[in-house]
Amino acid sequence: MLATLSPAQAQQAPSASVQGSVAQAAAAHLVSQHTGKIGAAAVKSVQATANLNLRSNPSTSGKKLALIPKGTKLTVGSTKPGWSQVRYAGKTGWASSAYLRAVPKNTSKAIKRGDLGKSTVALKLRRQASTTSKALATVPNAGIYTVNKVSAGFSQITSRGKTGWVQSKYLKVVAKKPGREIYIDKKYTSNRAGLTDRYWTKVSGSDLHESVKGKIRIGDIPRNSVVYRDKKMEKTAGSVKGWIFVRTQGMSGWMKTSQLARKSTATTKPGKYSVKTVLGQKNGKIPERMLVAIGWDKEKTLIAAPALKDLNRLNTAFKKKFGHNLDIDLAYRTRATQDAYWVELGPYVAARPGTSNHGWGTAIDVPETYNYSFRGKYHKWLKANSKKFNWVHRKILEEGSPYAEAWHFDYVGK
Ligand SMILES: [Zn+2]
């Protein structure tokens, strides 16, 4: 981004997980997985993405039989190029596949040994794998259990010290194995929402992993970056000794506890470097000695050393006006993190890697709360006053611009 991964924007971001078109889905069904024969029935649940005509033939010249309202759920019987045969209001006809979106199927799979299962109702825990076997206890709804064994529709679990059997159909698979990869849904509102268990990275280039022992999702989280432990996610994914599930810089993943400390060791003194020197470094790969922590920020966010003095002055003025410190969401961001955002969010939300001032530590993002929004009192004050301290809100980010961002400020001092 110009600025940051904002979860609000992430919601609008084009997502790779958007359901495929009906044409693709239908094509995939043309060859039956079982028989290999072409022409197997392609029954598919879809939803109309617009008001569209039901026609007598798979052609725009086909007679209009009905108007299908946007949002209607339909079942596709067969397909022809660009057209899907559906039934609506008692009539069978053809609708343009371009306005039909596949509705994802219920993909719940049978639970297996080693899976983590979540109870979907309160369940009887039975001595044996049978509904007539003696009940040992009641397992609460929404508990998460490791499945020890499975047997004909039953799963063996341990609940509150008792081992027994529950009906597998009431267990929803939440993880395949401990320490697995978790994708956070985009509703998540902030890095740290509700999380207070805070650590700092103590290793330069601390790795954030997609899954324990899995491939690395984000490398080089710089030393002295704050991360928040998410125990709920650990429970969901299956906890692994020596690893914790964290959120940092708008992302999440697993980190080794050996790479984490309870305190930041970063200096809060500006040091001797000039902006020119920092800008001479590779974006997102600023040497640690050129980064300093913002002392009054509770996360001790890292920023380019030469930008700190003016940020401190800006904060002093802000505090005088509003009675509290400026809130900082993000400042320095590594190249690896920028790359990860680019892959995940694409060009509408993420800045092209290597181009954001965050990669030099010469930009800050304040939060996306109301007071920091275009209409908010903090933004208005910052917009009017920050330039006195060599921090600017650039014109391209103004309200109404396609790149509008209220929360991003750049350092233009020396
Ligand atoms: Zn920004």
For the whole model, what pTM was predicted?
A: 0.57
Portion of the chain with pLDDT greater than 90, in percent: 39
Query: What is d(CA 182, CA 210) in angstroms, rounded to the nearest whole number?
Result: 7
42: tokens are 């392609």
Is residue 187 scored above 90 in pLDDT? no
Q: Give me ligand 1 centre to Cα 13, in Å.
A: 17
Q: What is the tens place of the pLDDT at every residue in 4-46? A: 333 333 333 333 222 233 333 322 222 222 222 223 334 578 8
CATH topology for 20-102 is SH3 type barrels. (2.30.30)
Q: Give me ligand 1 centre to Cα 89, in Å.
A: 51
Q: Give me ligand 1 centre to Cα 356, in Å.
A: 8
Q: Give me ligand 1 centre to Cα 269, in Å.
A: 23
Amino acid 18: pLDDT? 27
Query: What is d(CA 77, CA 168) in angstroms, rounded to the nearest whole number?
Result: 32
> Is the pLDDT higher at 62 or at 107?
62
Q: Which of 170-184, 230-244, 247-261 has the lowest mean pLDDT?
A: 170-184
SS3 233: helix
Q: Give me ligand 1 centre to Cα 53, in Å.
A: 45
Q: Give me ligand 1 centre to Cα 397, in Å.
A: 10
Closest CA to 171 of 145, 152, 136, 149: 145
Amino acid, single-letter form, for residue 267: T
Q: Give me ligand 1 centre to Cα 1, in Å.
A: 6
Q: Give me ligand 1 centre to Cα 365, in Å.
A: 5
Indicate where the chain has its CATH 2.30.30.40 domain(s): 20-102, 116-175
Name which CATH class applies to 275-411: alpha beta
Indicate where the chain has its CATH 3.30.1380.10 domain(s): 275-411
Q: Give me ligand 1 centre to Cα 236, in Å.
A: 32
Query: What is d(CA 241, CA 179) in angstroms, rounded to the nearest whole number?
Result: 9
Amino acid 191: pLDDT? 55
Amino acid 175: pLDDT? 56
Query: What is d(CA 293, CA 279) in angstroms, rounded to the nearest whole number?
Result: 18
Q: Give me ligand 1 centre to Cα 3, in Å.
A: 2
Q: Give me ligand 1 centre to Cα 185, in Å.
A: 22
Query: What count of other Cβ atoms lies within 10 Å of the Cβ of residue 348?
Result: 12
CATH of 198-261, one of 2.30.30, 3.40.50, 1.20.1300, 3.30.70: 2.30.30
Portion of the chain with pLDDT greater than 70, in percent: 78
Q: Give me ligand 1 centre to Cα 352, in Å.
A: 13
Q: Give me ligand 1 centre to Cα 408, in Å.
A: 4
Q: Give me ligand 1 centre to Cα 299, in Å.
A: 17
Over residues 138-167, the mean pLDDT reads 83
Amino acid 117: pLDDT? 78
Name the pLDDT band for 234 (thresholds 50, 70, 90): confident
Over residues 172-179, the mean pLDDT reads 64
Q: Give me ligand 1 centre to Cα 311, in Å.
A: 15
Over residues 121-136, the mean pLDDT reads 91
Q: Give me ligand 1 centre to Cα 351, in Å.
A: 9
Q: Give me ligand 1 centre to Cα 364, in Å.
A: 6
Amino acid 127: pLDDT? 94
Q: Give me ligand 1 centre to Cα 293, in Å.
A: 17
Bridge partners of 117, per DSSP, are 145, 173
Over residues 107-134, the mean pLDDT reads 82
Q: Give me ligand 1 centre to Cα 114, in Å.
A: 42
Query: What is d(CA 86, CA 286) in angstroms, rounded to the nearest whole number?
Result: 58
Query: What is d(CA 403, CA 405) in angstroms, rounded to the nearest whole number?
Result: 6
Q: Give me ligand 1 centre to Cα 333, in Å.
A: 10
Q: Give me ligand 1 centre to Cα 372, in Å.
A: 13
Over residues 368-390, the mean pLDDT reads 95
Query: What is d(CA 391, CA 413) in angstroms, rounded to the nearest whole number?
Result: 7
CATH of 116-175, one of 2.30.30.60, 3.50.50.60, 3.40.50.1010, 2.30.30.40: 2.30.30.40
Is residue 214 scored above 70 in pLDDT? no
Q: What is the tens place of the pLDDT at every residue in 63-94? A: 999 999 888 888 888 888 889 999 988 889 99
Torsion 79-80-82-83 (CA) sign: negative
Over residues 168-191, the mean pLDDT reads 59
Do 216 and 208 contact (CB within 8 A), yes or no? yes
Q: Give me ligand 1 centre to Cα 96, in Å.
A: 42
Bridge partners of 304, per DSSP, are 291
Q: How many helices (H) and strands (E) in the chain?
A: 7, 28
